[in-house]
Amino acid sequence: MTYQVKYSHESAPKIGVVANSIEAFNEEAKEVTEGQFINLFEQFKREGVISQDSIYYPKRIFGPHEAYEVAKLFAKEQVEVVVILDSAFPNGHVLSTIATYPYLAKIPLIVTASPEVDLGIPEWVSNAWCGVIMNNYAAKQIGRYLYPLAGFPDEEEYQDELKMLLNVFHAVAQMRKDFLGRFGEAPGGFHSASGDQLVYAEKFGTKVETIDLTAVMNAYKTGIATGYKGRITFSDKEVEEILTEMRQGRIILVEESYLEKAARLYHSLRAIIRANGFTSIALRCWPEMNETYINVTPCFAMTWLLAKGDVSAASCESDWPTAVAQSLGTYLSGKPAACLDFVNYTGDCEIVQLGTAEWGLPGIWPPMMKCCSRRFRIMEAG
């Protein structure tokens, strides 16, 4: 099964590749491995697996001085992943030079090598994998994580594993840019919806900004949101356009006013997201949102944010740790991720009842479902 996944709303990972070996060992064997990887590099660019700005360093390097120049280039270009290709036994200082360079010190690192190339001669022609083992020891001693990848680049199994790694490492890069907008604190008793934000910042890169829930209703009433990136507005015409899109191809089983409120709430949340540059959100969706003075059930609006790619995560009950996990799922799967509470499922029919839920996507739901206290029900036509 070929591994192929990419989140359509994000660019492909930008990688930097450099070949490394000592001057000994067979030149033809080195060229075989390097030639296969160059072909794979160009194939990945054509397929959109890696960014068009990715770099394959134009010559094989030997020692630490050349490695330092490579590290400077990769840092300047802000690559997301570094790949060191040991086409034969490597110089012992190249790995440590690149791995400890300031910008690259926390960038995901792959060290790869092929088994012995069969040239029909009774001798070791590259001894490349032995070099990877020694690189692994050096990485451990300097406290630098790396992934050792073995195989020939023209083999499907090798390509699938490399695609998987690049996707994971791209998710790492995206999470380091995660700016999570938290609308209101979690309801009382929701202890799992709290946590040490600085620990998450250190581990994942997520920054959490908490704003008052009243900001949502102000945007809902005025069509205006302000934030770090300025002022964003939306019009009644834009609300009507998204309302038309929500109706299209669906049998609506709720009052028209509920759908109208969902469309306006969608634009309200989207305006705040754009005004602040949020990449993910967590919303205190109850109890206030269902009170008579607000009376806007947010579930459908939140699904629409996910479906339209406005955010990588939209979690309920101001549960921002779940939003972090949801964003990871989005980047890793290549599709908007959902985290659901299945309150009741009856095996003899297609009805699923959801309670407090981090929402899925319209168009991927079962034929009928109930959600939250408002029981917002939509049935897909056809």
CATH number at residue 41: 3.40.50.10940
246 and 117 in a single domain? The answer is no
Residue 134 maps to a domain: yes
Sign of dihedral through CA atoms 187, 193, 199, 200? negative
pLDDT band at 190 (very low <50, low <70, confident <90, very high): confident
Q: Is residue 190 part of a domain?
A: yes
| Residue whose token pair is 């092929």 | 114
Q: Are residues 27 and 106 in the same domain?
A: yes
CATH number, domain at 240?
3.40.275.10
Q: What is the pLDDT of residue 255?
A: 87
User: Is the domain of 64 the same as that of 168?
Assistant: yes
Same domain, 198 and 224: yes
Q: How confident is the model at residue 4 (pLDDT cuts 50, 70, 90)?
A: very low
Residues 240 and 288 grouped into a single domain: yes
pLDDT in tens, 291-301: 876 788 888 89
> Which whole number is the average pLDDT over 335-363?
58
Which 8-state DSSP code applies to residue 11?
Answer: P
Query: pLDDT per residue over 90-148, tens digit each?
Result: 998 999 999 999 999 989 999 999 999 999 988 889 999 999 999 999 999 999 999 99
Phi first, then psi: what are they for 371, rounded to 5°? Answer: -145, 140
Of 175, 198, 225, which residue is a domain's last?
175
Of 175, 204, 228, which residue constitutes the final position of a domain?
175
Full DSSP string of 202-241: HHT--EEEEE-THHHHHHHHHSEEEETTEEEE--HHHHHH
Angle at 194 between CA 280 and CA 232, to 5 degrees: 30
Q: Does residue 94 sit within a domain?
A: yes
The C-alpha angle 259, 323, 227, rounded to 5 degrees, equals: 70
Domain count, the chain: 2
pLDDT of the residue at 353: 56
Residues 159 and 237 in one domain: no
Tell me, yes or no, whether 225 lies in a domain: yes
CA torsion angle 326 375 243 322 (round to 10): -10
Residue 146 forms part of a structural domain:
yes
Q: What is the DSSP string of 19-37?
A: EE--S-S-HHHHHHHHHHH
Whole-model pTM: value is 0.80
Q: Is the pLDDT at 287 greater than 80, yes or no?
A: yes
Same domain, 157 and 20: yes
Q: Is 347 exposed, middle or buried (0-12, 13-18, 19+ CB in 10 A)?
A: exposed
Whether 325 has a pLDDT exceeding 80, the answer reads: yes
158 shares its domain with 260: no
The answer on 22 and 64 residing in a single domain is yes
Q: Assess if residue 355 is contained within a domain.
A: no
If asked whether residues 240 and 320 sit together in one domain, one would say yes
Do 253 and 166 share a structural domain? no
| Residues 157 and 184 placed together within one structural domain of the fold | no
Residue 154: the pLDDT is 96
- Domain extent for 297: 179-337
pLDDT one-digit tens code per residue, 138-178: 999 999 999 999 999 999 999 999 999 999 999 989 999 99
Looking at the domain assignment, is residue 364 inside a domain? no
* Beta bridge partners of residue 230, listed in sequence order: 227
User: Is the residue at 264 inside a domain?
Assistant: yes
Task: Among 175, 197, 217, give the residue marking a domain's end.
Answer: 175
CA 210 – CA 319 distance, rounded (Å): 12
Does the pLDDT of residue 343 top 60, yes or no? no
